[in-house]
Amino acid sequence: MTDKTPAREKPWLFRTYSGHSSAAESNKLFRANLGKGQTGLSVAFDLPTQTGYDSDHVLARGEVGKVGVPICHIGDMMTLFQDIPLEKMNTSMTINAPAAWLLSLYIATAEKQGAARSSLNGTTQNDIIKEYLSRGTYIFGPQHSLRLTSDVIAFTYREVPKWNPMNVCSYHLQEAGATPEQELAFALATAIAVLDTVRPVVPPEDFSVVVSRISFFVNAGIRFVTELCKMRSFTYLWDEICRTRYGITDEKARRFRYGVQVNSLGLTEPQPENNVYRILLEMLAVVLSKDARARAVQLPAWNEALGLPREWDQQWSLRLQQIVAYETDLLEFGDIFNGSTEIQRKVDELMADARDELKRIDDMGGAVSAVESSYMKQKLVEANARRIGAIESGEQIVVGVNKWTETEPSPLTGGDGSILTVDHKVEAEQIERLKAFKATRDQGAVEAALAGLRAAASEGRNVMEPSITAAHAGVTTGEWAQTLREVFGEYRAPTGVSRASANTKGEKIVDVRAKVETVSAKLGRRVKMLVGKPGLDGHSNGAEQIAVRARDAGMEVVYEGIRLTPAQIVNAALEEGVHVVGLSILSGSHIPLVTEVLERMKAAGIGDIPVVAGGIIPPEDEKLLLAAGCARIYTPKDYDITTIMGDIVDLVGARAA
Ligand SMILES: CC(C)(COP(=O)(O)OP(=O)(O)OC[C@H]1O[C@@H](n2cnc3c(N)ncnc32)[C@H](O)[C@@H]1OP(=O)(O)O)[C@@H](O)C(=O)NCCC(=O)NCCSC(=O)CCC(=O)O
């Protein structure tokens, strides 16, 4: 270093998406991560918490503490942030349908720590539109959900002014297969739907501040030059929308502020060490251009396609960010792409396509109509089908997957313990703690708080203050959500599968179609497959692609969407008279859920119908499931769906014979 070393920009926030098992375990993990130089926290909640159920609910079975931390009440939240002063932290909470509730617990916890609401920094994800399209943790219908989002926004801009009440997410759309143009258009259409909902409920003079608090959560895939251009396009388009649609004159209020997690969909199970390169390239897309730089980054771990990452795996990802920020000279430069005609050409192209798509959605009546009519979902299912088709045909190269698959044995993945496994005991222990907590509550205060919440929800008043009162009174996550379920009702989003066409090409699908005809002739009716998603996991891409391809192969397909109980799936198999059942589970709860389906099928007298399962299933679990009676297991390495279809028809054919 010399005297001439230029001043460095402040780096973005460093986070890792973490949380599992229990509040106490997750607190330990948070403090360890902060000790390693992480500058913010990103909380992963388990699926029961994300869908508004307490750990002792029947639907929570097998899911407690799996993909995140279970938070049932203020006691759990206080444990989660024990010895972490919230007034000094910048916390992201990936919470959507019950965002108002988890924010209330967070505020109540801060208040117990002696911190003022106004000091809090952070983000509640709170983007329900993409839950219908991709993540699947919605509870209520679009109108009621947007009203809750709008309540959070209208509350925070006054009471918690540094809080980001929502992150409009294009991240999960890319995980569902979205093209860069779709990511731009669908996310911006979502932001418009939210602002159009909140505009009438805030005084006009406050609207510019409200707009300035809208922030985004974006993805970055491996085509990193296009992704870099996508980020620049987002910045220009958001500025344009704020100016022209909302008349925002303050330039600062129009800034495109975004956080990032880079792509998980493209991480490979074969030769997983190569994912480190992918993650670095993807990160460059969001940090290289200063004028469109991410303000917060979290990176997936190299082994995410294998299972849950361990602390060391997360540390390796954090170190990658630190090397880019502190060892390279990146932060010493202004924008290194301004003036590049090639970059601008691509940006203009992306913006033109995104504007066309935005106009189409606007003409349909906006993002909510485009969800309800299943337009957006169908487009995503089709885009993902094209992506998978290109990998199958070899048109899109994925190193180690469809090319250069030969490999030396990896020293990183050998033996047990190369991924994190959550102890099965955590569920029972969490339920015990919940029982003990409930026993200490003032029941009168709980009931009064729930009555206050119900009244606010049904009378159209902001639910935030009553929710904070409920948090202090010891109301649980399940009680809060159940009260609102009773007022708003529940919702099932369109699957987008019935109208999506796959149009698979190549000889292999022609062979499978012929096989389906032969087996159907033998059966005397068309081969019929049930595609089921048991449990609370809402990541439905796999199930959708199987359903679409099975239909393309000539099968009749029953797919009723996410979050079904094993009992409902077995009922559907009986009623629909299917010949094969395919189950998809990505949350790690495959053992209890698949075995329950198998047992119930036996009990219902249809135990001879073949059951196949797909998901992130480690080899040891694969053995257990095959021993329990599962006919086939598919994991991310089985990327060729047409081959899977061939396999499935063979299974049905063998049974028919
Ligand atoms: C978008 C942000 C980063 C905004 O955060 P903050 O409010 O803390 O930041 P900020 O104050 O807006 O910005 C920080 C600094 O950058 C400056 N700044 C911001 N935007 C700027 C811009 N466009 N141009 C120039 N400067 C800018 C600000 O003035 C400020 O500077 P000064 O400091 O000088 O004032 C946030 O919402 C966030 O962290 N989002 C990501 C959340 C996340 O990680 N979610 C994980 C989801 S995990 C997930 O979904 C996993 C997958 C799954 O579960 O399915």
- Is 17 annotated in the active site? yes
Nearest atom (ligand 1) to Cα of 255 = 23
- Best of 295, 298, 317, 331 to mutate for ligand 1, by most ligand atoms within 8 A of CB? 295
- Cα distance between residue 466 and residue 107, in whole Å: 12
**Of the residues 342, 364, 391, which one is the last residue of a structural domain?**
391
- Cα distance between residue 57 and residue 623, in whole Å: 29
Among protein residues, the one whose CA lies closest to atom 20 of ligand 1: 257
- Cα distance between residue 106 and residue 583, in whole Å: 36
Q: Give yes or no: residues 366 and 515 share one domain.
A: no
Report the predicted TM-score, pTM, of the whole model to 2 decimal places.
0.94
Distance 294 CA to ligand 1 centre (A): 7
Distance 297 CA to ligand 1 centre (A): 9
Distance 309 CA to ligand 1 centre (A): 24
Is a pLDDT exceeding 90 seen at residue 49? yes
Average pLDDT (258-266) is: 95
Residue 442 counted as domain residue: no
- What is the total count of domains within the chain? 2
At 419 the pLDDT is 84
Instruction: Give percent of the chain with pLDDT exceeding 70.
Output: 98
Residue 108 counted as domain residue: yes
Catalytic residue among 76, 127, 537, 552: 537
What are 72-98's pLDDT values in tens digits? 999 999 999 999 999 999 999 999 999
At 577 the pLDDT is 96
Distance 265 CA to ligand 1 centre (A): 23
At 538 the pLDDT is 86
- Is 537 annotated in the active site? yes
**Of the residues 348, 365, 391, which one is the last residue of a structural domain?**
391
18 has which bridge partners?
43
Among protein residues, the one whose CA lies closest to atom 17 of ligand 1: 295
Give the residue among 450, 446, 445 at the shortest CA–CA distance from 483: 450
- Best of 129, 257, 293 to mutate for ligand 1, by most ligand atoms within 8 A of CB? 257
Is a pLDDT exceeding 70 seen at residue 575? yes
What are 316-332's pLDDT values in tens digits? 999 999 999 999 999 99
Average pLDDT (153-175) is: 98
- Classify 210 as helix, strand or coil: helix
Is a pLDDT exceeding 60 seen at residue 2? no
Residues touching ligand 1 (Cβ under 6 Å) are 13, 15, 17, 42, 90, 92, 94, 121, 123, 125, 135, 164, 167, 171-172, 215, 217, 255-259, 261, 295-296, 298
Residue 615 lies in domain: 505-654
Is a pLDDT exceeding 90 seen at residue 307? no
Residue 623 counted as domain residue: yes
**Of the residues 347, 375, 391, which one is the last residue of a structural domain?**
391
Is a pLDDT exceeding 90 seen at residue 420? no
Residue 418 counted as domain residue: no
- Cα distance between residue 581 and residue 644, in whole Å: 13
Give the residue among 103, 63, 36, 179 at the shortest CA–CA distance from 563: 63
At 417 the pLDDT is 63
Is a pLDDT exceeding 60 seen at residue 579? yes
At 281 the pLDDT is 98
At 114 the pLDDT is 98
**Residue 385 pLDDT level (bands cut at 50, 70, 90):** very high
Residue 71 counted as domain residue: no
Name the H helices within 421-504: 425-439, 443-459, 464-473, 477-488
Is a pLDDT exceeding 80 seen at residue 501? no
ipTM over 0.95: yes
- Cα distance between residue 148 and residue 126, in whole Å: 9
Distance 26 CA to ligand 1 centre (A): 23
Question: How is residue 147 written in tokens?
Answer: 């009203």
Distance 257 CA to ligand 1 centre (A): 6
Q: Give yes or no: residues 530 and 385 share one domain.
A: no
Nearest atom (ligand 1) to Cα of 295 = 3
- Cα distance between residue 529 and residue 551, in whole Å: 9
Instruction: Give percent of the chain with pLDDT exceeding 90.
Output: 88
We report the CATH number of the domain holding residue 209 as 3.20.20.240
Instruction: Say what the alpha-carbon torsion angle 646, 649, 655, 657 is, to the nearest 10 degrees.
Output: -90
Among protein residues, the one whose CA lies closest to atom 43 of ligand 1: 92
Residue 477 counted as domain residue: no
- Is 171 annotated in the active site? yes
Residue 487 counted as domain residue: no
Distance 214 CA to ligand 1 centre (A): 10
Distance 217 CA to ligand 1 centre (A): 8
We report the CATH number of the domain holding residue 573 as 3.40.50.280
Q: Give yes or no: residues 385 and 527 share one domain.
A: no
More confident residue, 560 or 113: 113
Q: Give yes or no: residues 378 and 518 share one domain.
A: no
Catalytic residue among 66, 73, 377, 539: 539
Question: How is residue 373 written in tokens?
Answer: 């009519």
Catalytic residue among 53, 138, 157, 171: 171
Residue 323 counted as domain residue: yes
- Is 172 annotated in the active site? yes
- Is 539 annotated in the active site? yes
Catalytic residue among 73, 144, 438, 533: 533
- Cα distance between residue 505 and residue 22, in whole Å: 47
- Cα distance between residue 184 and residue 230, in whole Å: 7
Q: Give yes or no: residues 276 and 129 share one domain.
A: yes
